[in-house]
Amino acid sequence: MNDSKRIVMTGIGLTAPNGNNLSEFRKSLLECRSGVKHHEIRYMGLQASGMCDFDEFKYQSKKLRRRGTRAGSISIYCANEAILDSGLDWNSVDKSMVGVFLGITEHGNVETEEEIYQMHQNNLDWRLWSPHHNPRTVANSSAGEVTLNLNITGPHYTLGSACAGGNVGIIQGVQQLLLGEVDIALAGGISESSQTFGIFAAFAAQGALAQHSDPAKASRPLDKNRNGIAISEGGCIYILERLSDAKKRGANIYAEIVGYAINSDATDFVNPNGERQIQCMHKAVGRAGISISDIDIVNMHATGTGTGDVNESQAVRKAFEDSSKTYINFTKGHIGHCMGAAGSLELAGNIPSFMDGMVHPGMNCTDLDPECAIKNLVINEPKFLGNVNYILNNSFGMLGINSALIVKKYIA
């Protein structure tokens, strides 16, 4: 294929509850270091959740942090880190040909809750409602904050796609590059969801909020005793370029994006549909022009809910039943559910497998639910494979949105 039609990843900037760059994050995943702790959630008391501890002021002034949002702050940190990591000579980049495409689960809950809380503290005086509320809560705000911070004048927007957001943001970046709309895409997913009590309360109301006296063990996908989701924040933004451009500047290439698919269950608001998930994975494999048995690693979405994990386990088992060499892991045992950031973060956590040949384990699955048993499941201990060529990353979300993304080791 023509190099101008091949899209590669040349920079990664991330913050996760257990690492503020790729090497820290990878180390935590291999060593089963959790980022989930007890945090005080408004009205609800201590809850197991993942918060990030990156330096908010590394790339942003205090004033603009105050004016913006936590999601914007996470995005700005990740975008700057990704650019630095890519080795791009940012001053000479044509900013009108740079686009920002960020997947989000939701946006505006944190800011709206805070305004309502403040109003209640002040005798319901609506005149105290902040003039910043609208720019903070428009759906493009986190991507827009990145453009303001980096003087990017190309397109920017977010992609509301529930917990498939991380994959969807990357896919949008790929498509914009292939269309020639941009030369560089800052693409990925972000989330500030753990800053809002409403999401905790709603998962609690669904009976799907993770609970454990040891917060590091609260999120335990595929385990028989799992009891829900540990809500986390995070972000991961990639620098995507056409292979021709990356080669021209001698860039370090992490991976090539060779396949992707997004589809819809059209069955239920919250319960997943395994058949559609299989169709989504197969469609991505088809687009990559490979076969199921070429996939070395599948990172499951695996959130730690009763129904969701069983559905996805059945889907992955069936989708990969003809492959003996595909190994399966998941990431939310370590970091909880980073919502809109989950897809892009979890993919990043697996990309170093191309270099070190290891599969990081899924964490906290000490008593595997027989209904979730899958061959070649990597849990609690890393597995050395040696040569890893293809990784498939699943990310699914409410209202039945499914996404699968396949990256390939780049060999010059």
Partner 1 sequence: MADVRQIVIDIISDIAPDEDVSNLDDKKSLREQLDLDSMDFLDIVMELRKRHKVEVPQEDYPRLASLESCVAYLSPKFAKV
Binding site for partner 1 (CB under 8 A): 61-63, 66-67, 122, 127-128, 130-132
Q: Residue 391 and residue 299: Cα distance in Å, rounded?
A: 8
CB of 335 to partner 1, least distance (A): 31
CB of 235 to partner 1, least distance (A): 23
Nearer to partner 1, 64 or 139 (CB): 64
Q: Residue 189 and residue 71: Cα distance in Å, rounded?
A: 10
Query: Can you tell me which residue has the tokens 């990017």?
Result: 152
CB of 115 to partner 1, least distance (A): 12
Query: Can you tell me which residue has the tokens 């700057």?
Result: 80
CB of 130 to partner 1, least distance (A): 7
SS3 at position 323: coil
CB of 111 to partner 1, least distance (A): 15
Nearer to partner 1, 129 or 207 (CB): 129
* Burial class of 242 by CB neighbour count within 10 A (0 to 12, 13 to 18, 19+): buried
- Beta carbons of 110 and 195 less than 8 angstroms apart: yes
Nearer to partner 1, 63 or 92 (CB): 63
Of 227, 193, 182, residue with least CA distance to 208: 227
SS3 at position 165: helix
Q: Which helix (H) or strand (E) holds 335?
A: helix 332-335
Q: Which helix (H) or strand (E) holds 116?
A: helix 109-121
Nearer to partner 1, 122 or 211 (CB): 122
Nearer to partner 1, 118 or 264 (CB): 118
Helices (DSSP H) in 215-290: which residue ranges? 243-248, 274-288
Q: Residue 233 and residue 318: Cα distance in Å, rounded?
A: 31
CB of 129 to partner 1, least distance (A): 9
Integer CA distances (angstroms), 80 to 11, 32, 48, 135, 306, in order: 10, 27, 29, 22, 38
Nearer to partner 1, 131 or 386 (CB): 131
CB of 70 to partner 1, least distance (A): 17
Nearer to partner 1, 35 or 68 (CB): 68
- Read off the tokens for 58: 């590394």
